[in-house]
Amino acid sequence: MYFGFDNVSIAYGKRKILEHVTMEFEKGKITTIIGPNGCGKSSLLKTIPRVVTPYTGGPVYQDRPLKSYSPRELAQRIAYLPQVHTSPRDITIRTLVSYGRYPYKRFGRSMTGEDREMIDRALALTGLDNMGDRLLNNLSGGEKQRAWLAMTICQQPEILLLDEPITYLDIGYQVEVLELIRELGEKLNITIVMVLHDMNFTARYSHRVYALASGGVYAAGTPEEVISRANMEGLFSIDAQILRDEKNNCPFLIPEKLGTHSQKA
């Protein structure tokens, strides 16, 4: 397996969150994990930076369990952006992005020319060139998210994990950030795994979708296969009308409260 989860079970204390979850992510593609609140999507993702420790199985990279790699080796290959970011208040974009070079830092050595090159490239790729000296705290939500993405890009990852990357953004920035994520994935051939709550964006931006519910994988496949009326009812207890977005060539969903459709019909 190139990258994925093998038989992962997670529990908080005695409460079991996930049991025997296996997922495989295709190289260079975008995979989105969906599911109801509290189904364990974020916890699953957090097993990769070892914030959450599963009690069976674990993430796998290049056919080897992730824990057989050193944290530094992993950080040079897999980048992770949590849902909530914290940073000092007086940090500039360039400083933040430079922290992405930490996995490449040699003991006692300062930044190399290559480091600076990678920082400039990351800023350019995220459309933040000439903004390096701006303070992170004074940016708009979309710009902030771009700065954090630039930091992860600076890690030169093969794999990028994003935990609800658009949750706190308005719809304008949501589109902007998702377009950027897709563009980065294509340009740099990065495998992207993200957690999203919005079904329409999931349908539009993912190559593959995994749906998690009641402790395990509920459905998996292309957006067309997973975002179906039956699955939406099973996952979210909604009656979903599935239409087709011809322009973006993907399914499009209108949610209704369960029961309302059948009554009208």
Partner 1 sequence: MKTQPKTKSLRQTLPYKLTVLLLLAGLCLAATLACTAIGSVKYSLFQVVQALFREDAEARLIIWNVRLPRVLCGGLVGVCLALSGCILQGVMRNHLASPSTIGVTSGASFVGYLTLVAFPQFYSLLPVGTIVGSFVTTMLIYLLAYEKGVSPVKMILSGMAVSAMFSAFNDIIRSFFSERLANATGHLVGSLNGTVWGDLQLIFPYMLVGVCICFFLPGKMNILMLGDEMASSLGLRVERFRLFLIAVASLLAGASVAVAGLISFVGLIVPHIARLIIGSDYKYLFPASIFLGYSFIVICDTVGRVVLPVGELSVSIVLSFIGAPFFLYLLRTKETA
Q: Which positions touch partner 1 (CB under 8 A)?
A: 46, 48-51, 70-72, 74-76, 78-82, 84-92, 95, 99-100, 102-103, 105, 108, 133-135, 137-138, 155, 161
In whole angstroms, how close is the CB of 107 to partner 1 at the nearest point?
A: 8
Q: How far is CA 171 from the centre of its chain?
A: 18
Q: What is the DSSP code string of 143-179? A: HHHHHHHHHHHHT--SEEEEESTTTTS-HHHHHHHHH
CB atoms within 10 A of CB 60: 22
Of 75, 78, 119, whose CA–CA distance to 96 is shortest?
Answer: 119
State in angstroms the smallest separation of the CB of 86 from partner 1: 4
To partner 1, the closest distance from the beta carbon of 120 in angstroms equals 17
Shortest CB 185 distance to partner 1, Å: 18
Closer residue to partner 1 in complex, CB, 144/204: 144
Closest CA to 160 of 171, 149, 168: 149
For residues 21 and 75, which CB has a smaller minimum distance to partner 1 in the complex? 75
Name the residue nearer to partner 1 (CB basis): 86 or 263: 86
Shortest CB 48 distance to partner 1, Å? 7
How far CA 247 is from CA of 20, 108, 244, 264, in Å, comes to 38, 53, 9, 29
| Residues β-bridged to residue 64 | 61
Q: How far apart are CA 43 and CA 195, in angstroms?
A: 11
Closest-CA residue to 93 (of 39, 35, 151): 151
Q: What's the min distance (Å) between Cβ of 141 and partner 1? A: 16
Q: Which of 9/155 has CB closer to partner 1? A: 155
Question: Which one, 94 or 204, has the nearer CB to partner 1?
Answer: 94
Which residue, 110 or 263, has its beta carbon nearer to partner 1?
Answer: 110
Distance CA(186)–CA(189), nearest Å, equals 5
- Cα–Cα–Cα angle for 80, 236, 29, rounded to 5 degrees: 35
